[in-house]
């Protein structure tokens, strides 16, 4: 039996202690990932995942999630789910109980969750409604551009073309939550959960539910997951690119950095930050980001509380100008 390891993106640390407790007791990597992500999904103070997620354009919370077993490359994913607080549990059920499929969306995913007796529950909170309504004011637009970049402002202006509402940006780290676990038997699992972009067009599914884009795990090499501008990760296949880098002999940090450089070389008028995280089959780990100050949480069998480690930051050189429309 080896020593278990679990890592998580910002705000994913809320479930790491409980997840590590399960790993120490002999639980699987998949158990640990689901436990950690369910804790994040239940955290009403987190407005980018699960209960309390900021609604879509029509004021409805739609949730995406995926999980992947590195031992078999089996995966389950759900997108645009409403009325279920824990999409990661539905994603796991798809993986284990509906192996003829890898992804369910919308009403089909909800029907399947009912068949599996997964509890329904409220996902829209008063606080999320307040944030959704507090507008795309000029002040908030200025703050968004100052703290998150011009791409975020462009996105919010596109929302204004359809709805007269928005939310002031959070000053703390935000976005999708990633969890990657290595259990004592050497099994790897990756999981991702999100409520997606606030004010997204109904039915939009980002990279979190797309295997190879926001989530990928191969037990021979490692697992990777992403947060941030999901459309870029889909176009670049970012998570799979990280794992391919590990397979080619890159270090975890080199693999994350190389994948983000490729991702951020794509032209995109709604460019926003992207982050990635990886854990190898032998317990090495790293993260990378397009912004300074980004971290990730770590627990091993020796930790009693999560440790926070810095992510590598990729050079601004790789942010291709939208004006030229240049491509790599």
Kindly state the tokens that stand for 22.
């399960």
In the structure encoding, which two tokens stand for residue 141, read together? 């637009």
Cβ-contact 283, 182 below 8 angstroms: yes
Tokens matching residue 257? 């950095």
Distance CA 148, CA 169 (A): 8
Q: Say which residues have a Cβ less than 8 Å from residue 282's Cβ, sequence separation at least 6.
A: none
Question: CA 134 from chain center: how many Å?
Answer: 25
Beta strand extents in 240-294 (DSSP E only): 274-280, 285-289
Backbone angles phi, psi at 227, to 5 degrees: -145, 155
Catalytic residue numbers read 176
State how far the Cα of 40 lies from the Cα of 50, in Å rounded to an integer: 7
How far apart CA 259 and CA 177 sit, in angstroms, is: 18
> Which whole-number Å values give the CA distances from 326 to 234, 266, 319, in the listed order?
18, 8, 10
Beta-strand relationship, 285-289 and 312-313: parallel
DSSP helix/strand/coil, 288: strand
Cα dihedral angle (23, 27, 32, 35), rounded to 10 degrees? -120
Concatenated DSSP letters of 111-137: HHHHHTTPPP-----HHHHHHHHS---
Q: Report d(CA 217, CA 75) in Å as an integer.
A: 9
């Amino acid at each position: 039996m080896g020593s278990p390891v679990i890592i998580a993106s910002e705000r994913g640390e809320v479930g790491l202690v409980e997840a590590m407790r399960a790993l120490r007791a002999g639980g699987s990597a998949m158990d640990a990932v689901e436990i950690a992500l369910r804790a994040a999904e239940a955290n009403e103070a987190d407005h980018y995942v699960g209960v309390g997620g900021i609604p879509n354009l029509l004021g409805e919370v739609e949730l995406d999630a995926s999980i992947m077993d590195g031992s078999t490359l089996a995966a389950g994913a759900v997108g645009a789910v409403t009325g279920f607080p824990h999409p990661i549990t539905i994603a796991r059920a798809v993986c284990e109980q509906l192996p003829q499929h890898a992804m369910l969306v919308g009403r089909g995913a909800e029907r399947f969750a009912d068949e599996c007796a997964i509890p329904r529950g409220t996902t829209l909170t008063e606080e999320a409604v307040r944030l959704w309504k507090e507008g795309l004011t000029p002040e908030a637009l200025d703050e968004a551009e100052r703290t998150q970049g011009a791409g975020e402002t462009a996105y919010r202006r596109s929302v204004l073309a359809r709805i007269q509402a928005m939310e002031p940006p959070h000053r703390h780290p935000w976005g999708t939550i990633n969890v990657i676990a290595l259990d004592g038997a050497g099994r790897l699992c990756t999981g991702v959960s999100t409520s997606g972009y606030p004010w997204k067009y109904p039915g939009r599914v980002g990279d979190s539910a797309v295997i190879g884009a926001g989530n990928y795990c191969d037990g021979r090499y490692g697992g990777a997951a992403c947060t941030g501008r999901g459309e870029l990760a889909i176009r670049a296949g970012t998570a799979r690119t990280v794992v391919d880098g590990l397979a080619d002999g890159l270090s975890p940090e080199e693999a994350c950095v190389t994948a983000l450089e490729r991702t951020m070389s794509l032209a995109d008028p709604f460019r926003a930050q992207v982050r990635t995280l990886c854990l190898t089959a032998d317990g090495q780990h790293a993260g990378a980001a397009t912004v300074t100050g980004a971290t990730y949480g770590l627990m091993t069998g020796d930790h009693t509380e999560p440790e926070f480690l810095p992510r590598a930051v990729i050079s601004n050189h790789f942010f291709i100008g939208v004006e030229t429309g240049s491509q790599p």
